[in-house]
Amino acid sequence: MPIELDPKVPAGPLEDKWDEHKFSIRLVNPANKRKYRIIVVGTGLAGASAAASFGELGYNVDVFTYHDSPRRAHSIAAQGGINAAKNYQNDGDSVFRLFYDTIKGGDYRSREANVYRLAQVSLNIIDQAVAQGVPFAREYGGLLDNRSFGGAQVSRTFYARGQTGQQLLLGAYQALMRQVHAGTVTLHTRKEMLDLVTKDGRAVGIIVRDLTTGEITSHSAHAVVLATGGYANVYYLSTNAMNCNATAIWRAHKKGAAFANPCFTQIHPTCIPQSDEFQSKLTLMSESLRNDGRIWVPKNPGDDRPPNEIPEDERDYYLERMYPAFGNLVPRDVASRAAKRMVDSGHGVGPRHNGVYLDFADAIARLGKHVIEERYGNLFEMYERITDENPYEVPMRIYPAPHYTMGGLWVDYNLMTTIPGLFAIGEANFSDHGANRLGASALMQGLADGYFVLPYTIGDYLADYLNTDPVPTDDPAFTEARNAVEDQIARFLQSRGTRTVDHYHRELGRILWDYCGMSRSAEGLQKALSEIPALYEEFKTDVRVLGENETVNQSLEKAGRVDDFFQLGLLMCIDALQREESCGAHFREEYQTPEGEALRRDDEFSYVSAWEWTGAEPVLHREPLTFEFVTPTTRSYK
Amino acid sequence: MNITLQVWRQAKPSSPGGFKTYLVEDVSPDMSFLEMLDVLNERLVLQGEEPITFESDCREGICGACGVMINGLPHGPQLGTATCQLHMRKFSDGDTITVEPWRAAAFPVVKDLMVDRSAFDRIIEAGGYISVNTGSPPDANEIPVPKPVADTAFDAAACIGCGACVAACPNGAANLFTAAKVAHLNLLPQGQPERWDRVVAMVDTMEEFFGSCTNHGECEKACPKSISIDFIALLNHDYVKAKFKNRRLVAQQG
C-alpha cells in the first residue's frame, strides 16, 4: 500500500489545538472499552504508563517485555530529571517557553503542534508522578525543588537525586502492576516481539518468542502499540542498556511503517571515556552535572600534567569562552561537537587523550562538599567505581557517546504510524525532538505519550471496530509471519560460521561511529554505504550461533537484533547522505558556518524524511514542516 | 591478570548443574566483572562451547537485572555495588573466583547463572502502589512533603529489585525487598489512605514465596544500594499495627 503522510495536525490557534482535537475525535464509551484488546510492547516509561492508563480506562491489555520484570526497562537508567513548565521557581517559565526551547533545541525540525502539546501536558505529568509517590527532591518547606538543564535559561527540571528515571519508571511500573492485579492487564515477561502481523493493511497482532523455551506464539488485538525505545545500540558502544534494540520498530518498518529521520542520533556530551578495547558499553554521567561542573581542557595540546598542576591561565574553559550566555549549559549537540573539536585538535586528556575535564573544584569551594554530595553523590560514586578516581579531588574526564535517537517510526498527531492500528510512543517514534533532544525531555515525552496522549487518541481509531473480533491467530496472515520468524531462527542456528555475533556488532558500530556519528560527510557516508553491505553479507554466512532454540540462547537473541541493526545502519547512512544540511545532532561537514556551527538549509530541507521500505532502494516521503508560531532562526547560545 | 573461574553451568531448570573451571588470561584490572565474562564468552563461542548465560542490562547498577554469587557473596566483595559495577581491580592476579546463581528456593535457576525472580512482581502486584488513576491528581505542590520524610522515602525507594537480599539470607527471606517498598509508600502522605491494607497484602503475599526473617542482617550487607535494615522494623511495626487498626477510624487516629 502506498504511503501517504497525513500528520492530522488540527487547525486553529496553537494553544487550542489539543483541546479542540480531544473534543473532535471519537471516543469509546466506558462500557464498550472492555470489548477491545490492545497489545503494548515494551514496559519503559511510555509502555508502562500507556498500558496502565488503558487498563484503568477498561480496555483489555496484553503487555510484552523481553525482561524478567517490567521494572528493568531502560528508562530506569535516566539520571538527571524531567522538565515541566510549572514555573514553581518564578523565573519566567511558561508552556510557551518550554515549547519554544524544545523547538529551538531541536533545531526547527519538529512539528509545532506536537511539541506544544508536550509542553502543555508536562504539567500533568508532575502531578501524576507526585500522587503516585515518586520521591522528587524537595525544599525544606516541603515543596518541590528544581534544577537547570542544557538549552534552557529557567529552572524547570524536577529530579529525584540522580535516579529520576528509576523513580518515574517505578511509579509507572507500580501503576501497571495495580492493573495486573485488577485483571485488566495481562503481563507477558521474557517474551520478545519478532514480527508485526498485518492484514488488509492494518496492524492486527504480533509474533513473539518466549526467551526461556523458544516457543513462538501469535497474539492478536484491535491495536498494537510499540513502546520499544530507541536504537542507539546500533553503534555497539552507547549508553543504552545491553539489550536495547530496534527489532520491534524495524520489523514494523518492513511491514509498512515509515521510518522518520533515522540519521538524527544524539551523542551525549558527558559520558565516561572508553578505557579499553573490551568495553561493552559506555556510562553516562548526567547532564545535570553541567549545572555545577566547569568543562575545560589544557590550552597547550598534549599537556600531560595532572589537572591540579595546570594553572588557571593555562586552562581553556572553552564552552564559557565560546558561548558566554549559556556557558556550560549549551544543548547537547553543541557541547558534544565542541568536545570533539578539542580532542581532535590534540587537547584531549586522560591516558588515551580521549576526554575533556568536568571540574567541580569551584562549586565545592563555593557551596561546600556536602551540597555537591547531596546533589550528585550517587553519580560521583558511580564515576569512582568505574575509573578508580575520586571526582571530589580530581576533575572527571568525559567524552561524548551515542545516547538517544530522535529518529523513529513516523507518527501522526494521534501517534499512529503509517500502518493503521499501529501506534508508536516514547523514543520509538520520531515525534517531538526534531534534530536534537534537550536534556530531561525524554522522560517527559515518554510519559506524555503514555499517560496523556495515546489514551485519548487511540479511541478515534478503535471506534471503527466496535463489536468486531480481533483477527484469529490461525489466520494465514499470522501463519505466514510465524513461518518467517521460525525460518530466520533456523537459519541462524544452522549457519555455524567462524565469528561471534558481537564481533559483527562491534565492526558495524565502528563504521557507523566513524562515518555517521558526531560529524558526517558525503565521502565518509559513501564509504559506509559500501562497507556495511559487505560486512552484512559476511555476517549472514559467517556468524556463529551455538546452542538451541528451546532453552535460553542469548547469542540467538542477539543475532536477530544485529541483523536488524545492519539494515537500519544502512538506512541511517542513506538518510544522512540525503540530508544535505547540518541541523541539531546531524552535522554535515560540508555545511557549517565559518565558526564551525551547524548550517541549516531551511529552504530545501525543512521537512521530515519518512522512508518507506521496499526491499531494494528505500523511497523517501517528505512531510513539510511549517512554522506558524515561531520563526526558525540560526540557533545562538552565545 | 590471570583468573581462574569456577562457574555454575546448568542447561535448563530441570537438568542437574555443576561447576566448570575456566582460565581467563590477560584480564585488565579496568574491566568490569561482566566484561570479563563477555570476553570469556566470546572465547567459548570460538572454541565451540556454548557461552555462559547471565543476565545484565544497564550495566550502571540501576536496572537490577544482573546479580550472581561471587565467592559466596551476592554481587561480590565490594559493599554497595551491583555485579555490573564491580571491577577486576578488586581481585588479584592468580585468584580463583567461584560464580554461582542466586541461592534461594524462591528464585529457581532458568539456565546457568540466570534465575526466575518473578515472585518479586507478585509482591508489588499485591499492593506496592498508590491507587491513583491517570488524570485525577491535584497540583503537585498541594501535597507538601517534609524534606526528611521525602529523603527517607527515597532511601527506601532506591531498591533495584535485584534479589541480592534474598540470596544473602540464610532463610531466603524477602523482608528487605518488601520493607523497602512498604516504607517508601507508607512514609509519604500520599501513601496513607492505603497504608494498613498495603502492608498486610504485601507481607501475606511475600510469605507465600519466601522464608521468614530472623534478623540476621545479611540482606543489608548484600544490598547494592545499602538499604537499611531499619526499614524491616518499620515493616513489622506497620504490619502489627495494621492487624489492630479499625479502618473506619483511621482518619481520626492518624
Interval A252-268: pLDDT, tens: 999 999 999 999 999 99
- Classify residue A612: in a domain, yes or no: no
All three cell numbers of A360, joined, read 567541580
Assigned C-alpha cell, A64: 510484552
Contacts A–B by Cβ distance under 8 A: 209
If contacts are CB pairs under 8 Å, which of residues 455-484 in chain A contact chain B? 455
Residue A152 clears pLDDT 60, i.e. is over it: yes
Instruction: Say whether B135 and A451 touch across the interface (CB within 8 A).
Output: yes
Distance of CA B191 to the CA centre of its chain: 23
Residue A152 CA to residue A104 CA, distance in Å, equals 10
- Rounded Cα distance between A118 and A160, Å, is 21
Give the up-direction half-sphere exposure of residue A62: CA atoms within 13 A in the CB hemisphere: 18
Domain boundary among B86, B111, B136: B111
Same domain as B214, residue B91:
no
Verify that A87 and A162 share a domain, yes or no.
yes
pLDDT of residue B112 exceeding 90: yes
pLDDT tens column, B50-94: 999 999 999 999 999 999 999 999 999 999 999 999 999 999 999
Please indicate, yes or no, whether residues A210 and A109 belong to a single structural domain of this protein.
yes
Instruction: Check pLDDT > 70 for residue B253.
Output: no
User: B146 and B70, same structural domain?
Assistant: no
A45 and A141, same structural domain?
A: yes
Cell 543475532 belongs to residue: A559
Closest to B173 (Cα-Cα) out of B210, B201, B206: B210
Q: Are residues B32 and B106 in the same domain?
A: yes
What is the spatial distance between Cα A477 and Cα A395, in angstroms, rounded to a whole number? 58
Please report, for the domain that includes residue A201, its CATH number.
Answer: 3.50.50.60
In terms of Cβ atoms closer than 10 Å to its own Cβ (0-12, 13-18, 19+), residue B82 is buried
**Is B99 found in the same domain as B15?**
yes
Q: Are residues B102 and B170 in the same domain?
A: no
Q: Average pLDDT, stretch B238-249? A: 92
- B136 and B236 belong to one structural domain: yes
Average pLDDT over residues A380-401: 94
Active site residues of A: 332
**A418 and A496 part of one domain:** no
- Length of chain A as a residue count: 638
Q: How many angstroms separate the CA of residue A301 from the nearest CA in chain B? A: 26
Count Cβ atoms below 10 Å from residue A321 Cβ, excluding itself: 11
CA distances from A268 to A222, A339, B149, B248 (A): 38, 11, 34, 53
Supply the range of the domain harboring residue A211.
Answer: 36-265+404-465
CA A375 to chain centre: 25
3-class DSSP assignment, residue A96: helix
Mean pLDDT over B148-167 rounds to 97
Residues 6+ apart with CB under 8 A from A559: A492, A501, A543, A545
CATH, residue B12: 3.10.20.30
Say yes or no: ipTM exceeds 0.90: yes
Share of chain A above pLDDT 70, in %: 100
Q: Flag if A181 and B121 touch (Cβ within 8 Å).
A: no
Q: Bridge partners of A409? A: A259, A429
Q: Helix-strand-coil percent breakdown of chain A, rounded to 5?
A: 40, 15, 40
The tally of domains found in chain A comes to 3
Q: Is residue A631 part of a domain?
A: no
| Residue closest to A395 by CA, chosen among A350, A353, A435 | A350
* Residue A165 covered by a domain: yes
Report whether B155 contacts B229 (CB < 8 A): no
Q: Are B51 and A546 within 8 A, CB to CB?
A: yes
Nearest-angstrom CA–CA distance, A504 and A228: 23
CB atoms near residue A408 (< 10 Å): 30
CATH of the domain at A567: 1.20.58.100
Confidence check: pLDDT of B249 > 90 = no
CA B26 – CA B8 distance, rounded (Å):
22
Q: Report chain A residues whose CB lies below 8 A from the CB of B144.
A: 138, 141-143
A57 and A106 assigned to the same domain: yes
Q: Are residues A311 and A336 in the same domain?
A: yes
DSSP summary character for residue B32 = B
Res. A571: pLDDT tops 70: yes
- The reply to whether A390 and A424 lie within a common domain is no
Task: Kindly indicate the confidence band of residue A419, based on its pLDDT and cuts at 50, 70 and 90.
Answer: very high
Do B16 and B94 reside in the same domain of the chain? yes
Alpha helices, H only, A516-617: 522-542, 554-578, 602-605
Q: What is the nearest CA distance from B225 to chain A, expressed in angstroms?
A: 10
Q: Assess whether B210 and B107 both reside in one domain.
A: no
Please give the Cα distance from B173 to B206 (Å, whole number). Answer: 8
Stretch A554-576: mean pLDDT, rounded?
98
Where is the domain boundary, B111, B130, B145? B111
Is residue B77 within 8 A of residue A28, CB to CB? The reply is no
Nearest-by-Cβ selection for A546 from B45, B85, B114: B45
What letter represents residue A578's amino acid?
Answer: Q
Instruction: Please give the pLDDT value at position A476.
Output: 98
Same domain, A397 and A413: no
User: Is the confidence at residue B254, as pLDDT, over 60?
Assistant: no
Chain B interface includes A52 (CB < 8 A): yes
Pair A138, A228 in one domain: yes
The answer to whether residue A117 sits within a structural domain is yes
Q: What is the CATH number of the domain that holds A330?
A: 3.90.700.10
Tens digits of per-residue pLDDT, A64-100? 999 999 999 999 999 889 999 999 999 999 999 999 9
Q: Is B25 on the interface with A (CB under 8 A)?
A: no
Is residue B97 domain-shared with residue B154, that is, in the same domain? no
**Inter-residue long-range contacts of A298-302, CB under 8 Å, 24+ positions, other chains counted:** A298/A347, A298/A349, A299/A347, A301/A345, A301/A346, A301/A347, A302/A346, A302/A353
Q: Are B208 and B245 in a shared domain?
A: yes
Do A274 and A260 have their domain in common? no
Range of the domain at B35: 3-111
Q: Who among A135, A212, A498 is closest to B150 (CB)?
A: A135
How many structural domains comprise chain B?
2
* Nearest CB partner across the interface for A127, out of B81, B129, B137: B137
**Residue B194 near residue B127 (C-beta atoms within 8 A):** yes
Whole-number mean pLDDT of chain B?
A: 96
- CA pair distance A424, A422, nearest whole angstrom: 7
Is the Cβ–Cβ distance between A61 and A178 less than 8 Å?
no
Q: Look at A130 and B137 and tell me if their CB atoms are within 8 Å.
A: yes
In chain A, residues with a C-beta closer than 8 Å to the C-beta of B145 are 135, 138, 142
Q: Are residues A399 and A422 in the same domain?
A: no
| A1 has pLDDT over 70 | no
Q: Range with the lowest mean pLDDT among A276-290, A491-505, B80-94?
A: A276-290
* Residue A157 pLDDT grade (very low, low, confident, very high; cuts 50, 70, 90): very high
Same domain for B71 and B136, yes or no, is no
A379: nearest Cα among A271, A250, A217:
A271
State whether A427 and A366 are in the same domain. no
| Angle (nearest 5°) at CA A119 between A115 and A124 | 135
pLDDT in tens, A36-67: 999 999 999 999 999 999 999 999 999 999 99
Residue B190 pLDDT greater than 60, yes or no: yes
CA distance A216 to A316: 58
Of A173, A180, A241, the CB nearest to B58: A241
Which residues on B lie below 8 Å from A188 (Cβ)? none
**Average pLDDT of chain A?**
96
Mean pLDDT, to the nearest integer, of A143-156?
90
Please state, in angstroms and rounded to a whole number, the distance separating the CA atoms of residues A384 and A480. Answer: 52
| B84 and B185 inside one domain | no
Residue A560 lies in a domain: yes
Identify the domain boundary among B88, B111, B134. Answer: B111
Q: Is residue A444 part of a domain?
A: yes
